[in-house]
């Protein structure tokens, strides 16, 4: 295995398409959808739509951090906000619950673009958010704290 990455082959499983309805909180709603449909590893290929507000974090320099960086506190971008694009990874926590790692780019009403790591809550759907998910088979993605980076990361393994 390459010393610069950790990876395993997987097979494509089901393709799932969902529409999140107005008022839904994007991350909890999509996490619940994955759990209910049995998706335990895969990719969120695309997210597009509109939000009443976007809540996200981004990485900044942190000289005292394990890897010289850290995430900010959540930033709340009041809406309406256009969700230009979003994507991410689906896996499980060490206790077996479904976990999503999502990033997104947003455009506010002044056409200013913002983006980063979607917070676990606070991304409220305005009109709609459309999601396309690809399930991975033969793959286990477990999210756990990584002491080298100081972040919770997914660790791939054969399932």
Q: What is the pLDDT of residue 1?
A: 55
Q: For 32, phi and psi rounded to 5 degrees?
A: -65, -40
Average pLDDT over the chain, rounded to whole? Answer: 97
Conformational region of residue 49, where left means phi above 0, alpha means psi within -120 to 50, and beta covers everything else: left
Pairing of strands 11-20, 113-118: unpaired
Give pTM, 2 decimals.
0.94
Query: What is the third-level CATH fold of 13-158?
Result: 60s Ribosomal Protein L30; Chain: A; (3.30.1330)
Confidence of residue 2 (pLDDT cuts 50, 70, 90): confident
Residue spans per domain, the chain: 13-158
Confidence of residue 114 (pLDDT cuts 50, 70, 90): very high
């Amino acid at each position: 295995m390459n010393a610069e990455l950790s990876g395993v082959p997987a097979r494509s499983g089901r393709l799932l398409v969902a529409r999140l309805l107005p008022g839904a909180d994007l991350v909890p709603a999509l996490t619940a959808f994955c759990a209910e449909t049995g998706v335990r590893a895969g990719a969120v290929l695309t997210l597009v739509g509109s939000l009443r507000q976007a809540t996200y974090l981004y990485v900044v320099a942190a000289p005292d951090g394990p890897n010289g960086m850290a995430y900010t506190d959540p930033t709340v971008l009041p809406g309406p906000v256009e969700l230009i694009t979003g994507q991410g990874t689906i896996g499980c926590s060490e206790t077996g619950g479904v976990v999503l790692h999502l990033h997104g780019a947003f455009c506010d009403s002044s056409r200013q673009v913002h983006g980063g790591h979607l917070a676990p809550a606070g991304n409220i759907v305005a009109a709609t958010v459309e999601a396309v998910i690809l399930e991975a088979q033969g793959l286990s993605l477990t999210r756990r704290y990584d002491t080298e980076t100081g972040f919770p990361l997914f660790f791939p393994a054969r399932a």
